[in-house]
């Protein structure tokens, strides 16, 4: 590439002086060869100026002989690929004929640019630095969509464009000399909580930073803020214009309740305007309250005070118990846990078997541990607990509620009932065979229980470990009040919180005509239910599940609070073999199907209250449900022979009932 050293006029003057007959030895003396320039670059123009149409425009400008366009009077380059960034310094004016330029990257090298007009082009990409620097007088960049990623220089009064963005999202600032409107979604870190987390404010500067200037700074302007919507009737956001903040009183909102508030934000300043509809979603945090009424500790032996009716009971046939135990250990148990349902060996090895069949859950782990504790087998207990901890522990005093042996994946969250049942099993075993290591495990799990299974001192369904989300609700059958009393005493938790939960459990009673219980209680607004509401099965509204209600009765019986009407109703239906899986709230069966687990739980209730007749009736149903020998590895389980199906929950509750 060579640059003409002299203007055309100067060359003609030299020719006149030398005379028309003068012969040049070498015409190349008039120019500098490409190899002689000190601006040669081996870098392809495509790497620093990717827009082909802009390349053509620059090429034409460099070959324009008018000094108003090019201070050097034109280049004799023969191809676009010969253009270097240094050459662009000579460009003063750009005559843009193309309508297909979209990317102005590379134009920043035109540091001498005075004027250019790209009107008619739709520009999508701009360089970080403004072309022309201080030399620039005006730059029209045509149609351009202003955005949060736009370089600040686009707001210079030397730059003009037709803004093609009609709606902005996630921009909490305006642009100098521009009018914008749209939406903005705040993150929950926009909230500034009070020391006790019962109040919070949203500073105006989180809603609106100001109007962005061409140097990247923001001109502060106080916006006008107006509340439009709050998802909770107990939350009344206040706009405080003196303090430039939105104030929130969270005292009446249950922690972990999902809240949404919406409001408008408007600001103006000398031709600049900003107008958005803002949304903030957040979960109310737990308050850092001080416990003033710690519950008195109780001994582990008080949890293990039951006198099992299975002892010396002729209905509890040793060979049946042994067969069921062998089925669980030999057919269902792995080195990580217990399968949730029966599979043949072919199914276990078949890659097409439903992956859910390989789920192992902490529910099963807790039930088997409780069985070992009731049996008083400390060595087997400690060995199996070590396996449970290895498979399910989250490393912080809680358990991932599910592990899949095929995918090797864990569900990131706990089931509080399962965690409490494991603590109960440890408590029972500790009462029968004390050990320092077990005592330390109980202490660790109670700490984890406080963190992951309680919300403001009350038991919830559990926590999602990945984001620590807690849902403000409890399934009533989770409230094992006997073990909770032990946990609350050991942890010094609130007596009032314990008493409130007992009331929640008792007030879920449907009535003496049908002495079953509601399924859920809501501490906060959730799934269309308000704080303080009860509900039946969310997936089948108007229905209650017998296992849920039976567990509630069991937990109340363990603290001598079971309703007499419930006990009488259960005893009658156990005796008549008419205890069904699901009922409508008026006591009508949804279908006349029964599960072995219902009779297993009634056996536990019977033993807890000392009703030998009801216990024997329950055990007899379990005995009749057991698969006899002759069915291979399916023998010994409580299952359905034609379908070869058997749920692990039925088998584990039955095994536990045999030791109650």
Do 154 and 222 reside in the same domain of the chain? no
Q: How far apart are CA 107 and CA 116, in angstroms?
A: 11
Do 57 and 97 reside in the same domain of the chain? yes
- Over residues 440-496, the pLDDT tens digits come to 999 999 999 999 999 999 999 999 999 889 989 999 999 999 999 999 999 999 999
What one-character-per-residue DSSP string does 375-412 give?
Answer: HT-HHHHHHHHHHHHHHHB-SSS-B-SEEETTT--B-S
**What is the band of 299 on the pLDDT scale with cuts at 50, 70, 90?**
very high
- Over residues 309-325, the pLDDT tens digits come to 999 999 999 999 999 99
Helices 546-557 and 495-506, packing angle to 10 deg = 130
CB atoms within 10 A of CB 417: 23
Do 141 and 183 reside in the same domain of the chain? no
Residue 142 tokens read as 């045509």
Radius of gyration of the chain (CA): 39
Q: What angle do CA 455, 256, 394 make, to 5 degrees?
A: 60
Closest CA to 635 of 288, 387, 326: 326
Residue 258 pLDDT: 86
Is 277 domain-assigned? yes
Do 195 and 155 reside in the same domain of the chain? no
Is 6 domain-assigned? no
Is 574 domain-assigned? no
Tracing tokens 């009533």 back to the chain, one arrives at 476
Residue 388 pLDDT: 98
Do 106 and 132 reside in the same domain of the chain? yes
What one-character-per-residue DSSP string does 444-462 give?
Answer: HHHHHHHHHTEETTEE-S-
SS3 of residue 273 by DSSP: strand
What one-character-per-residue DSSP string does 317-341 give?
Answer: -HHHHHHHHHHIIIIIB-SS-BBSB
SS3 of residue 363 by DSSP: helix
CATH assignment at residue 192: 2.60.40
Do 238 and 200 reside in the same domain of the chain? yes
Is 210 domain-assigned? yes
Tracing tokens 């206040």 back to the chain, one arrives at 238
Residue 649 tokens read as 């929950």
Domain end residue (candidates: 283, 302, 328): 283
Do 124 and 193 reside in the same domain of the chain? no
Residue 211 pLDDT: 97
Domain count, the chain: 2
Residue 182 pLDDT: 94
Give the containing element (helix H, strand E) for 46.
helix 45-48
Do 147 and 109 reside in the same domain of the chain? yes
Residue 70 pLDDT: 59
Q: How far apart are CA 644 and CA 227, in angstroms?
A: 60
Beta-carbon contacts of residue 101 (< 8 Å; ≥ 6 apart):
51, 53, 54, 57, 118, 121, 123, 142
Is 136 domain-assigned? yes
**What is the band of 541 on the pLDDT scale with cuts at 50, 70, 90?**
confident
Is 408 domain-assigned? no
Task: State the chain's mean pLDDT as an integer.
Answer: 90
Do 144 and 227 reside in the same domain of the chain? no
CATH assignment at residue 121: 3.80.10.10
Domain end residue (candidates: 259, 283, 307): 283
Is 220 domain-assigned? yes
- Over residues 410-439, the pLDDT tens digits come to 999 999 999 999 999 999 999 999 999 999
SS3 of residue 2 by DSSP: coil
Query: By residue range, what is the domain housing residue 215?
Result: 179-283
Q: How far apart are CA 356 and CA 367, in angstroms?
A: 20
Residue 395 tokens read as 């490393």
Residue 206 tokens read as 């989180």
Domain end residue (candidates: 128, 162, 196): 162
Do 221 and 140 reside in the same domain of the chain? no
Helices within 252-339 (DSSP H only): 318-327
Do 134 and 186 reside in the same domain of the chain? no
Do 44 and 158 reside in the same domain of the chain? yes
Is 107 domain-assigned? yes
- Over residues 24-73, the pLDDT tens digits come to 223 222 222 232 333 445 689 999 999 999 999 999 888 876 645 655 66
Q: What is the pTM of this model?
A: 0.73
């Amino acid at each position: 590439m060579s640059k003409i050293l002299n203007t055309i006029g100067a060359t003609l003057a030299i020719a006149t002086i030398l005379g028309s007959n003068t012969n040049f030895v070498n015409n190349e003396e008039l120019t500098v060869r490409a190899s002689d320039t000190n601006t040669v670059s081996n870098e392809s123009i495509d790497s620093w100026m990717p827009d082909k149409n802009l390349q053509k425009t620059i090429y034409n400008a460099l070959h324009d002989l008018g000094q108003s366009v090019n201070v050097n009077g034109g280049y004799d380059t023969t191809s676009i690929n010969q253009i270097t960034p240094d050459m662009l310094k000579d460009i003063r004016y750009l005559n843009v004929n193309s309508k297909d330029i979209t990317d102005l990257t590379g134009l920043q090298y035109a540091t001498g640019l005075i004027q250019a007009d790209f009107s008619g082009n739709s520009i999508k990409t701009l360089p970080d630095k403004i072309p022309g620097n201080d030399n620039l007088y005006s730059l029209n960049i045509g149609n351009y969509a202003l955005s949060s990623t736009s370089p600040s220089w686009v707001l210079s009064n030397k730059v003009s464009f037709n803004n093609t963005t009609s709606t902005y999202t996630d921009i909490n600032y305006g642009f100098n000399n521009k009018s914008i409107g749209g939406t903005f979604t705040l993150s929950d870190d926009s909230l500034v909580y009070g020391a006790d987390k019962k109040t919070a404010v949203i500073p105006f500067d989180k809603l609106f930073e100001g109007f962005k200037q061409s140097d990247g700074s923001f001109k502060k302007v106080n916006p006008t803020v107006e509340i439009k919507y709050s998802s909770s009737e107990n939350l009344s956001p206040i706009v405080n214009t003196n303090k430039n903040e939105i104030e929130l009183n969270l005292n009446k909102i249950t922690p972990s309740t999902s809240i949404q508030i919406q409001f408008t934000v408007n600001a103006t300043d000398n031709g600049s305007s900003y107008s958005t509809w803002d949304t903030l979603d957040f979960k109310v945090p737990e308050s850092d309250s001080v416990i003033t009424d710690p519950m008195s500790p109780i001994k582990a032996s008080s949890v293990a005070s039951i006198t099992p009716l299975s002892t010396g009971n002729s209905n509890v046939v040793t060979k049946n118990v042994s067969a069921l135990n062998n089925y669980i250990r030999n057919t269902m148990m792995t080195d990580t846990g217990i399968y949730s349902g029966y599979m043949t060996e072919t199914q276990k090895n078949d890659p097409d078997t439903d992956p859910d069949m390989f789920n192992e859950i902490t529910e099963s782990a807790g039930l088997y541990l409780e069985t070992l504790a009731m049996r008083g087998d400390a060595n087997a207990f400690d060995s199996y607990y070590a396996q449970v901890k290895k498979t399910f522990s989250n490393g912080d005093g809680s358990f991932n509620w599910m592990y899949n042996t095929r995918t090797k994946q864990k569900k990131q969250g706990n089931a509080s009932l399962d965690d409490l049942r494991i603590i109960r099993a440890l408590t029972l075993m500790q009462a029968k065979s004390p050990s320092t290591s077990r005592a330390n495990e109980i202490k660790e799990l109670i700490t984890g229980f406080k963190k992951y299974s309680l919300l403001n001192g009350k038991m919830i369904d559990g926590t999602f470990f990945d984001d620590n989300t807690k849902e403000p609700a409890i399934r009533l059958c989770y409230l094992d009040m006997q073990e909770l009393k032990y946990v609350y005493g050991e942890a010094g938790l609130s007596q009032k919180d314990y008493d409130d939960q007992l009331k929640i459990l008792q007030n879920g009673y449907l009535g003496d005509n049908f002495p079953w219980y509601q399924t859920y209680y809501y501490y906060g607004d959730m799934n269309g239910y308000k704080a303080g509401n009860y509900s039946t099965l969310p997936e089948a509204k108007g229905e209650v599940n017998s296992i849920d209600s039976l567990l509630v009765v069991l937990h109340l019986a363990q603290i001598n609070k079971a309703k007499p009407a419930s006990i009488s109703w259960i005893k009658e239906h156990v005796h008549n073999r008419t205890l069904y899986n699901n009922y409508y709230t008026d006591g009508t069966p949804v279908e006349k199907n029964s599960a072995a687990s219902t009779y297993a739980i009634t056996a536990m209730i019977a033993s807890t209250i000392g009703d030998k007749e009801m216990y024997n009736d329950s055990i007899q149903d379990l005995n009749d449900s057991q698969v006899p020998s002759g069915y291979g590895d399916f023998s010994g389980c409580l299952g359905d022979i034609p379908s070869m199906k058997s749920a692990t929950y039925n088998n584990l509750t039955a095994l536990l009932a045999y030791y109650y």
